[in-house]
Structure 1
Amino acid sequence: MIETVLSGLPLAYPDAVVVVGTAVVGLIAGVLGPLSVLRRRSMFGDAMSHGTLAGVAVAFLVTGAKVPEVLLLGATVSAALAAFAMIALERVGRLRPDAAIGVVLSVSLSLGIVLLTHLASSGNSGQAGLTTYLLGQTAGMSERDIEIALALGAVGCVIVALGFRLLRSAAFDPGFTAVAGVPTWLVDVVSTGLLALAVVLGVRTVGAILMVALLVAPVVAARQVTKRLGALVPLSGAIGAACGAVGGVLSGRAELPAGPVIVLLATGVALLSVLFAPRRGVLARLRRGRSGTRSERVS
């Protein structure tokens, strides 16, 4: 199936792999991004993405091999630990959410950089390329990477579809979740797990530092167009996929890193939406304000 899609694109095979892979990552980030943005946890995802660096390094130290699935597992575990650490500092340590995020973000990033630097100076040639998780790299993507992203992304999308009402209430009306008899901690765990899934799948492509932008920018763009969560989620996913695909093409032709190009495209789309959205854009609001002022003068 994937091989058929890749062969059908008017691109060289390596470029087609990058374009499809970045489109899949952008789609997943766009679909799962609202779980972060609408619950005002954008920096929560940022701290989790920074936490993946330590997990990648530890996974390599334990196994001594750069097996993508193993590194992905290590990144998942470390992202989950970062999430639980933030929740524990907030609830048990009684820190403000921004303070808990700041502590975990700085500590996890520092630990990841220390471990990666240690590996780079160890003389082990097998560690070459691990530092690309910091800013992302698509040159080494394969069909296997796309298959993993599609499988895990499909699981995430199914969970969002099945628990859509609960996730919506957690974002807009947290009190309803408790009244409905569903433990709020369970909704938090599920939403945090889905956010970790998006972060882990995208960190190799976009990088730990820039991943939060890919989670936020498509949602910001889609939110200027629609207020309905049922429309926002697929629209955000479509924007993320389009930015991923176009960024993959541009980065290949201009010989630029794909991650920053994708993030710049997504941010540009978000800014254009904020300015020119038909109803909620800045220009639309200015026009309504001027028309209101004129009507008041006439009356």
Structure 2
Amino acid sequence: MIGTVLAALPLSYPDAVVVVGTAVVGFVAGALGPLAVLRRRSMFGDAMSHGTLSGVAVAFLLTGAAVPETLLLGATVSAALAAFAMIALERVGRLRPDAAIGVVLSISLTLGIVLLTHIADTGDSAQAGLNTYLLGQAAGMTERDIAVALVLGAVALTVVTVGFRLLRSATFDPGFTAVAGVPTWAVDVVSTGLLALAVVLGVRTVGAILMVALLVAPVVAARQVTRRLSALVPLSGLVGAVCGAAGGMLSGRAELP
């Protein structure tokens, strides 16, 4: 099915893969972005994306091979740890959200850069390509990457659709959600998990440095058109898809991150 779509586009095969792949990643990230932006946690995704760097590095050090699936698993674990560290600092450490994000972001980025530098200094030829997780490389996408993004994106958007009313209530009226008997920590876990999924899907394509742009910018653009959450989610996804595809094409043609 993916091959049919790629063949139908008036583009060369490599360009078609980049356009479709970045559009899918952009749509998923844009549609999930409101979970961060509307809860005033825009930089939450930034801290998680920076956290993926250390996970990628540790996964490589443990396995000695730059296998994409293994590296993404490491990125997922480290992004989740960064997210829960921020929540813990807010709830237990009693830090303001911006302070908790600043602490985790700085530690995550520093640790990731140190580990990647250490790996590069070893001269191990197998580490080629690890730096793409820092700056991104849309041209490296494959049909398999598109299939994975479609499956995981469909799961994430299904969760949003099924739990839409609860997520909307927790976003605009968390007090009512708590009174209704729904633990706020459970909503935090679900929304954080969805954001982590979006980050992991896009970090190899967009890079840890700019992944937050794909989460935040589409939402900000879509909010100029609508204030209704039911319209904001798909519209933000559409903006993210267009931006992702356009950026992917520009990256491939100009040979830039």
For residues 107-138 of structure 1, give each alpha carbon's deviation from its aligned partner in whole angstroms, at most 9, with x where no partner exists: 01000001100110112100011011111112
Which residue of structure 2 lines up, in the alignment, with residue 182 of structure 1? 182
Alignment of 1:37-186 (within 5 A): 37-186=37-186
Distance 1:126 1:66 in 2: 6
Q: Please say which structure displays the higher CA radius of gyration.
A: 1
Distance 1:140 1:253 in 2: 13
Distance 2:28 2:65 in 1: 27
Q: Which runs of 5+ in 2 are unaligned?
A: none
Which residue of structure 2 lines up, in the alignment, with residue 295 of structure 1? none
One-letter amino acid matched to 1:61: L
Which residue of structure 1 lines up, in the alignment, with residue 252 of structure 2? 252
The secondary structure found in structure 1 opposite 2:79 is helix
Report whether the alignment pairs 1:203 with 2:203.
yes
Deviation at 1:73, TM superposition (A): 0.8
Distance 1:253 1:82 in 2: 34
Deviation at 1:39, TM superposition (A): 0.3
The secondary structure found in structure 2 opposite 1:181 is coil
Higher relative contact order (CA 8 A, sep 6+): 2
The secondary structure found in structure 1 opposite 2:140 is coil
Distance 2:186 2:205 in 1: 30
One-letter amino acid matched to 1:16: A
Deviation at 1:104, TM superposition (A): 0.5
For residues 67-123 of structure 1, give each alpha carbon's deviation from its aligned partner in whole angstroms, at most 9, with x where no partner exists: 111111110100000011111111111222111111110001000001100110112
Deviation at 1:46, TM superposition (A): 0.7
Deviation at 1:251, TM superposition (A): 2.6
One-letter amino acid matched to 1:225: V
Distance 1:103 1:251 in 2: 32
The secondary structure found in structure 2 opposite 1:139 is helix
One-letter amino acid matched to 2:244: G
Deviation at 1:199, TM superposition (A): 0.7
Runs of at least 4 residues of structure 1 off by over 4 A? none
Distance 1:243 1:171 in 2: 26
Q: TM-score, normalised by structure 1?
A: 0.84
Deviation at 1:30, TM superposition (A): 0.6
Which residue of structure 1 lines up, in the alignment, with residue 243 of structure 2? 243
Which residue of structure 1 lines up, in the alignment, with residue 26 of structure 2? 26
Q: Which runs of 5+ in 1 are unaligned?
A: 258-299
For residues 163-186 of structure 1, give each alpha carbon's deviation from its aligned partner in whole angstroms, at most 9, with x where no partner exists: 000110111111121122111110
CA contact (8 A) 2:139 2:248 kept: no
Q: CA RMSD in A?
A: 1.0
Which residue of structure 1 lines up, in the alignment, with residue 221 of structure 2? 221
Distance 1:85 1:189 in 2: 12
Identity %: 84
